Structure 1
Amino acid sequence: MHRVVVLALEGVYPFELSIPVRIFGTATANDGAPLYEVITCSLDGAPVTTSADFALAVQHGGEALESADTLVIPPFTCGPAEERNWLPEELSSALARVQPGARIVSICTASYVLAAAGLLDERPATTHWNEADHFQRMFPRVKVDAAVLFVDDGRVLTAAGVAAGVDLCLHILRRDHGSEVANRVARLCVVPPWREGGQAQFIERPLPELSASGTSATRAWALERLGEPIMLPELAEHARMSVRTFSRRFREEVGMTPLQWLTQQRVRHARRLLETTDLSVDRVAAEAGLGSGASLRQHLAAAVGVSPTAYRHTFRAKDHGAV
């Protein structure tokens, strides 16, 4: 039987720790036989603290890593950001016990462990979007993709944040035993077997603070008129600059062209309308200045990888559990 070993490190996040046993432990063959054995270990077999107000007792120590067919490392409180590019000797020694052919999986910021161990060098990987920039600076040899929910690079797999660990475990289950088994487990766990889009739709992109100089006042003026047609000459006229000067100053201050920025703001406004109103897709497109529903679908797919309807289903507040 395929053995999944879950390594609980000090400060482990309880929710993510439970994902592998819940997904793999629920998987059975058609005759009801379990497909995986899931065990949890700590580095020394002693209880571990969690990020919550309780500790966990485990039944296995680091020796369990030697028998792992799949090793899963959930996230944990991993100390100061500037110290995450090295591994404590005890953890480094423990990882060295993993067999060469074993599959290694990280959930959320546990990707720092894999990167610090050199397991992600020259590989594609992901981590929580909020840590992606720091992660890339710490580990420049890793090909970080912050837009996806998980990355499967064969032997080494990484998931983004929290629930993306569920997505990745279901993906592994699907890869090992097919869609029928994965879908059955998803139904039993009351989770979707596959989520549309990627991590991009969950990334917060706060608007930059507007200063009193340069093109700032014109940006504020444009934000109040997103539903209206606004052309580059109008923006330049409002800023009392020539089109050429305005375009140059705008790119220097914002890092993109005025029309690229305007489209970005319109898509953000459309996202807010999808989250907070019941307006039709066509009406949302009109209110955001994107013209038609088809245009909104195209821009939203490019920005976050999902359709307006799927985005609204994910983020629109509803009493889904009410009867």
Structure 2
Amino acid sequence: MDWILVAEQLLNGLQFGLMLFLLAAGLTLVFGIMDMINLAHGSLYMIGAYLAAAVMAASGSFLLAVLAALAGTAVFGMLLELTLLRRLYQRDHLSQVLATFALILICNEGVRMIWGEQPLMLNTPALLSGPVELLPGLFYPAYRLLIIAVGMAVAALLFVLVTRTRIGMWVRAGASNRPMAMAMGVNISRLFTLVFGFGAALCALAGSLLGPLLAVQVGMGESILILAFVVIVIGGIGSIRGALIGSLLVGLVDTASRSLLPLLLRQMASAELAANLGPALASILIYVLMAAVLFWKPQGLFPARS
């Protein structure tokens, strides 16, 4: 097997995993601190992508589009938390699932009413449209390298924020023992709003960066939301470190299995069998990974309440 192909797929897995981390980080904080199942988290990813595409079409500036998506989605997320989601904190998980599933439908129809049914175009910046030679013979798209760099920078920023700042101390306290945090004077309501807005901004960052690679269309958040939940189950609910490790594992396993598994099967079986069996096996490998992790550590790799 060509080493260049393997290197490219590993980089693709790293890029996809870091984008999953942007989604899973906000989701695991909401789930870990608020004890709330928010199925509408993927809709924030979709809204961020649409806002970025609309601003890009109006201004022509990709940087302005990303910043506008971050600000707009963060404000939308905080308003959503203040007006609706706050009423669900004391409800059971079934009520939260039903209410946030209804939010998915409302957001999808709202986007369809504003921007229409047709997908929007979000073009790659011209400066980053070409490849970069990383090693002799190994060329990789510059834009994907930017996504990797941004994902690593956000991961480092979150690590510093959660482990080295007072806000991070409140977040960790809320995730580990919410009643004790409240007894020590932490304003949990304000913390919930800030965390939810921050998670919405991370969703918007993922949506605006992946928009040039994927279609910006209605319902784009549902499929990636499933992977985000897989990530937080593997990493441990409420754990930023677990979200990062889980995202990288899922991104690498998903990308490598979809591209490399059919090639490996062709070495052992007929081309027809490899073509049919490869995609089927690749689609279930991340769930096999999740089952294996849960069998070994039922609370995930790095549970916040451990």
Please report the TM-score for the alignment, with normalisation by the length of structure 2. 0.24
Bigger fraction of residues in strand = 1
RCO comparison, higher one (Cα < 8 Å, 6+): 2
